[in-house]
Amino acid sequence: MEHLNETKGIPLIGENFPEMKVPTTHGIKNLPGDYAGKWLVLFSHPADFTPVCTTEFVAFAKRYEKFQKLNTDLIGLSIDQVFSHIKWVEWIENELKVPIPFPIIADDQGKIAAKLGMVHPGKGNNTVRAVFIIDDNGIIRLILYYPQEVGRNMDEILRAVEALQIADKNKVAMPANWPNNELIKDRVIIPPPSDVAASKDRKKKYDCYDWWFCHKKI
């Protein structure tokens, strides 16, 4: 079902997400075209009906409205058939009382996962816990890989989406642990100056530790 472009190698940060047509629990989706104008978090899980993956889907579902407020959709993926996805989603809703509002890609042949670098040595045919954050122009902005043994922190993925959006809008950078940085709290970092004159003027315009480390409130 999937139709991938001719991009060679695993997609990288800053590249366009490869175009593909994929079967999902919500019908056929064209990526990234069907999400034009929206941000997208595409994440893979090792397999349906597994405990860690179930906790992750519940965690994503419980934060779905927060992602939506950031103009961000979610879509899952594993090397399972669509009927397995449907039955697993049904089980989660019936047994755990948590509806899964986002689609799941059925990559039963593993071609999509292989194209996106989601199948790693020593893990058989299962996907690792990969995360791709794709912006509203279809560009890959962040990639995370977790091993099968470690469940993801969905609040960190939310934080990363929000941080990227604020950085884009304000042309700034975000400090470690933003918005709870140990030095500057929820303030943001001003990009380095481009010339000597600008470096000398920075302390007059911003709060700075030095000319190369200035920050401001947004």
- Mean pLDDT of the chain, nearest integer: 93
pLDDT of 199: 87
Let me know whether 124 and 29 are in one domain: yes
Domain with residue 83: its CATH number is 3.40.30.10
pLDDT band at 26 (very low <50, low <70, confident <90, very high): very high
Question: Does 3 have pLDDT greater than 80?
Answer: no
Angle between helices 82-96 and 51-62 (to 10 degrees): 70
Question: Does 5 have pLDDT greater than 50?
Answer: no
- Counts for the chain of helices (H) and strands (E), in that order: 6, 10
Let me know whether 115 and 201 are in one domain: no
State pLDDT tens for residues 179-211. Answer: 999 999 999 999 988 889 888 888 889 999 999
Q: 166 lies in a domain? A: no
Let me know whether 143 and 176 are in one domain: no
Q: 55 lies in a domain? A: yes
Q: Check: CB of residue 188 under 8 Å from CB of residue 166.
A: yes
Q: 161 lies in a domain? A: no
Let me know whether 109 and 178 are in one domain: no
Question: Does 124 have pLDDT greater than 70?
Answer: no
Let me know whether 66 and 124 are in one domain: yes
Catalytic residue positions, numbered: 53
Q: Check: CB of residue 179 under 8 Å from CB of residue 185.
A: yes
What single-letter amino acid sits at 175?
P
Q: 1 lies in a domain? A: no
Let me know whether 50 and 130 are in one domain: yes
Instruction: Give the count of domains, the chain.
Output: 2
Let me know whether 37 and 140 are in one domain: yes
DSSP 38: S
